[in-house]
Structure formats: structure tokens, C-alpha cells
Structure 1
Amino acid sequence: MTRDWLRRAAKTIRRNNHRNALAGTVAGLGAGIAIGVMEFFSAVAHYPLVIIPFATSIVLVIGSPEAEPAQPRALVGGHIVATLVGLAVLKLTGPHAWAAAMAVGLAVLAMYVTGTFHPPAGINPLLVVSHALPWTFLLAPVLVGALLLASFTFVWHRYAAGRDWPRHWL
């Protein structure tokens, strides 16, 4: 069983060219650095890392920078829109499990309607409602974090990966 898995893995690696391996290495390094910086700011701000919703966003913007949800409008706007929906639902209903589920659904709808669809932001309303987070969560870590992530992604792709990002800003 182990040999079959190893043989298949080796065959897959041989099929991929060195450029793909290098791109994966650069993307992995960028994601690791971004998570490390996020962890540092999490400790400084006294927010547990689990409450900061950017780990999957980092994977998306570093690993698939050409995807529409990885563009700045979706990255920043999606986090803001989804968080606003969560805060509104929390204010109207309180911190109930059904309200958290409803907030996620409404956030998906709001992101579609506003053209800011960013799948990783779907966790924001869940966090807001289930943890009864304050309105300040919208500013820090969400707005500040999304802007920092967009800035990091711009610098990373331009100078470390040697490619243009974003395809468009808005």
C-alpha cells in the first residue's frame, strides 16, 4: 500500500515541470510568511488567530492570483461586506446558531450582489455572530487585515514571484 502511494507521488512529481515546482515553492513561501506576519499581529492585537479570517484568503491570493475572487475588490470588499452582514444579523437577532447560518447565507448573497465574491470571507459572519464580536472587528482585524493582505500580495507577486498582480484593482 505505501509503495503504491509513493510510486504514484513520484510519477506525479516527474510529470510536473520544474517551473510548476518553483511556482509552488514560491507560493508556499509567500503563504507561510503572510501567516507568520498575521500571527504576529494577532498576538500584538490580542485577537486569537482563529478569530482572524485570512488564512484561506492568503492561500487564494498567493496560489491563484489570476482568479477573480483573488483580486483586490473581492479580497477587501468581500471581507468588509461579509463582516457587515454578520454584524447586522448579530444586532438584529443575537448570537444564535441559526442566526450564524443565516448570516453566512446572506453574506454570500451580498457578496454576489456587490461584485465582491470572495469565498474565504464566508467565515466572517459566522465568527461575528457565533462569538458576538463587536463592531470594532470590522476595522481591526478585518479592514486593516484585508488592506495589509492586499499590500503584501501586491509586493509578493511583483517582487518575489516576478508577475503582475492584480489583473485589475476594482
Structure 2
Amino acid sequence: MHIEVSMFHWSQLFAILAGAAGGAIAIASMAMFAASAAFPLAAIPFATSIVAVFGSPKSDPAQPRALVGGHVVATLVGLVIVKLCGPTAWAAAVAVGLAMVAMHLTKTFHPPAGIDPLLVVVNDMSWSFLIAPIAVGCLLLVTFAFAWHNLVARGPNRGDTWPVRWW
């Protein structure tokens, strides 16, 4: 049996390392924000979004429309369900399912946002959760990702820019 191991080109390796560095800095920033705002880090649902945006920046779920829209739509669904049904396990399940449908219908499908309605329902979050951390966090993540991908991480990947499309 022969197993072929493909070698990365230096430019591919640079892109991977630059994405990893950007992701690490974004996570560290998120942790510092959580600590300064006395907001539990586990309630800030951006870790997997950071992995998508920095690790796979050309994918559809890593584009700003999906990133921002997915988190906002999924959180709204969670808030409506928790206000109508209360913080129960079955309500959380319904909220996640409905959030998936809503993200597809609005063309904002962002799989990492699937945790948002679960967090909202289980923790019985208030409407202010939509503003902070969701809306503010999304805008900060988009701003940081744009700067990182277009100013810092380009190196040998001069033709690579993020986002592929804004809307």
C-alpha cells in the first residue's frame, strides 16, 4: 500500500500559519473582551466563526453576509422562542432547528451560528444579547478579519483578499 503525502507549497503554508495566527489573536481578543465586560466567555459564540473566517476564508459561511446575518438571524430565532416557550430543552431544540431554516431562507447560513439559539434559550438571555455580544461581536470580527486578511496576512498571497464578497 502506497500512501501519498502531498507537500504544501510555501505560499499555502504561509496562508495556513497566517490564518492560525489571526485566529489566535481574535480568540485572545474575545477572551479579553469577555473578562473586561464580566461576560462569560462560554456565552460568546464566536470561536467556531473565527475558525471559519481565518481557517477557510474563501468558503461561503466565512463571508460577511453569512457571518453577521447567520448570528443575528439565529439569535433572533432563539430570543423569540425563549420568550414564547421559556428556557426548556425542547424549546432549545426547536430554536436550533428553526434557526437553520431561517438562515437558509435568508441566505445567511453560517453553521457556527447554530450555537446561538441554544445559548439564548438555555441561558434565558434578554433581548440585549442581540446587541452585545452578537451584533457588536460580529462587526468587530468582520473588521478584524478584513484588516488581518488584507493588511497582515497577504505576503506571498497577494491576490488573496477577504472577503470574496460582502453581500
* TM-score using structure 2 length: 0.92
Identity percentage of aligned residues: 56
Find out whether 1:138 has 2:124 as its counterpart. no
The Cα shift of 1:92 comes to 0.6
More helix by share: 1
1:38 corresponding residue in structure 2: 30
What is the CA–CA distance in structure 1 between the aligned matches of 2:16 and 2:100, rounded to whole Å? 29
Q: Deviations over 1:35-86 (max 9, x none)?
A: 0110011111111111000000001011111111111111101100000000
Q: Deviations over 1:92-147 (max 9, x none)?
A: 10000011011000000000001111000000000000111111100000000000
Unaligned runs of 5+ in 2: 155-159
Unaligned runs of 5+ in 1: 1-7
- Matching residue's letter, 2:165: H
- Matching residue's letter, 2:143: S
Secondary structure (helix, strand or coil) at the match of 1:15 reads coil
What is the CA–CA distance in structure 2 between the aligned matches of 1:128 and 1:141, rounded to whole Å? 12
Find out whether 1:169 has 2:160 as its counterpart. no
After the TM superposition, which residues 4-153 of structure 1 pair with which residues of structure 2 at under 5 Å, given as runs?
12=5, 15-153=7-145
The Cα shift of 1:160 comes to 1.2
The Cα shift of 1:16 comes to 2.2
1:3 corresponding residue in structure 2: none
Query: Which stretch has the larger CA shift, 150-159 or 18-27?
Result: 18-27
What is the CA–CA distance in structure 1 between the aligned matches of 2:145 and 2:165, rounded to whole Å? 13
Q: Give the 4+ runs in structure 1 shifted more than 3 A.
A: none
* TM-score using structure 1 length: 0.90
The Cα shift of 1:15 comes to 2.1
Find out whether 1:157 has 2:164 as its counterpart. no
Q: How many correspondences in the alignment?
A: 160
What is the CA–CA distance in structure 2 between the aligned matches of 1:43 and 1:126, rounded to whole Å? 22
